[in-house]
Homo-oligomer: A and B are copies of this chain.
Amino acid sequence: MQSEHPADDVAAFKQAFRRHAAGVAGITARRPDGVPVGFTATSVASLAAVPPLVSFNMARIASAWPAVEATDHVVVHMLGARNRAVAERLAGPQDERFAGDHWAPGPLGLPLLNDVTAWMLGRIVERVHVADNAVIVVQVEDGELGAEDEPLLYHERAYRILGEHV
């Protein structure tokens, strides 16, 4: 990936990540004017259990970035197979992401997605800018488990569930 053709480097990087599969989460917040924002994330990871810390990544050109930059709190929702439509909706056109009854205002007025397998309300403790992107770290302050389900996975632009043990 040190070629003389940067476009080739980008293609190689994307190809490498096609070898990786990821769990799918839905992240929501509120703009200062109260409008809900959200997006589908494949970067959610546990950073620590004590204190409970979660990280995720986003582009600072994302439609939800101004809200995440301005707010103290977000909600990270773990998505199961039954939440596939919600995952697609939060990855679709910005003005349609909260058009529907798939969410309701929750603690602190934050948008809570319905019927997820777990949600965690977190206070943002780090916003690390790297180039045009940000790594966000939140400390979990509230949360709830929903009914169990197969975790939703994303790979090669497709949603999947877990398969065989190896």
Contacts and interface: CB of A to CB of B under 8 A. Distances in A.
A163 B165 contact: no
A37 B23 CA distance: 27
Contacts of A15: 118, 145
A45 B47 contact: no
Interface stretch (A27-35, A64-72, A95-103, A151-159): A151-159
A64 to B, nearest CB: 16
Nearest to A145: B15
Interface residues of A, number: 70
Contacts of A14: 49
A164 B81 CA distance: 10
Contact of A135 (B55, B59, B151, B153): B55
Contacts of A141: 1-2
A153 B162 contact: yes
Interface string A110-141: 00000001111000011010111101010011
Interface of A: 1-2, 6, 9-10, 12-17, 19-23, 25, 42-53, 55-57, 59, 78, 80-81, 84, 117-120, 125-126, 128, 130-133, 135, 137, 140-143, 145, 148-149, 151-153, 155, 158-166
7 contacts: A17-B78, A19-B78, A20-B151, A43-B45, A46-B57, A160-B164, A163-B164
